[in-house]
Amino acid sequence: MSLTNTRRVSVAVALSRGGSFTAFALILIVFALTAPNFISPVNLENIVAQSALPGLLAFGLTIVIIGGGQNVVTGGIDLSLAANLGLSAAVYATLVHGAHGDAYAVAATLATGIAIGALNAFAVVRLRIPPLLATLATMNLAAGLELVLTQNTVVPADSPLLAVLAGAGPLGVPMLAWTLLAVALLLVALIQYTPFGLRLYAVGEYPEAARASGLSLKPYVGATYVVSGLCGALAALCSAAFFNGSTTGSGEMLLSVVAIAYLGIMFSRRIVPTISGALVAALFVGSLINGFQLLNISSFWVNGVQGVLIIIVVAASTALRRKEI
């Protein structure tokens, strides 16, 4: 790449990143002026807490994108995350409702999420099914198992763990918000500051170079789906606390998860998928949804805006990658 092209790419990256933060700031200002109580401390805490569920799922999707590449057709993708949350939450709520202990229910929930991730890993790595199709099949399987387990009804749940997660934590901030931040910090440490994370970026961005350097790609790609499944299980525990049990229609969260994961790319320094970028994007989308709700704007418009965001972000990141090449 010539020096002139390098400068052009650097300017384009800076403008894209700056434009993302500018858009976030403008949206906050608009809602602060038009939506009642938008900037009240209680509502801001609610935004962070409500962002926990899609945010945790988006962390899992971000890791899959890092290891599989940003190409939405052939790269890393996990469409089963929302269904994973639904099934894992149903497992937890069913066991707690059946008078099983918290420890047993949590272990079964985490095992369910990891099993879904392992199934995706097996389908993608061993069977070599394209991730888009493999995770779509897993999504339908998980959604079907949830319907069988709950009979398409809400299963109430009440446990000490849910009471803690649904309550307030340090500084009076909801525990769901602290959970989101804690998981984000752990994943940032794993992905940004360990050899595993650095190799994962190499596997996703430069697979041929990674293979030439002696790295085995399959274990890294498979590991991303297992971690993604674990994120789905953690989100399920938060969901059970937020809704006091399992809930129907978790699949509707998938659009927000995809929007957050890809929007997070635009909030990163190099326009690459990062956990910190996904965290900012989760708050961005959470603020957008909350502001629309306060203004009594139909959720159909929220879905439309999220769809437009996905198109813009994918188009912009693809254009930047082409310039870089």
Residue tagged 């940032």 (tokens): 188
Between 315 and 225, the more confident residue is: 225
The contacts of residue 71 (CB under 8 Å, 6+ apart) are none
pLDDT score recorded for residue 7: 52
Is residue 284 within 8 Å of 292, Cβ to Cβ?
no
Residue type, 256: S
Q: Where are the domains of the chain?
A: 21-26+37-324
b/e 38-49 (16+ beta carbons within 10 angstroms → b): beeeebbbbbbb
Mean pLDDT of 200-218: 89
Judge whether 263 and 62 are in contact, CB under 8 Å. Answer: no
Q: pLDDT-derived band of residue 98, with 50, 70 and 90 as boundaries?
A: confident
Q: At the top level of CATH, which class does the domain 21-26+37-324 belong to? A: mainly alpha
Higher pLDDT, 31 or 74: 31
Given this model, what pLDDT does residue 9 score?
43
Sign of the C-alpha dihedral computed for residues 256, 125, 239 and 175 taken in this order: negative
d(CA 12, CA 68): 24
Question: Higher model confidence: residue 249 or residue 28?
Answer: 28
Q: Which residue has the tokens 């437009």?
A: 308
Sign of CA dihedral 169, 273, 223, 73: positive
Q: Is the pLDDT of residue 20 over 90?
A: no
pLDDT at 319 over 80: no
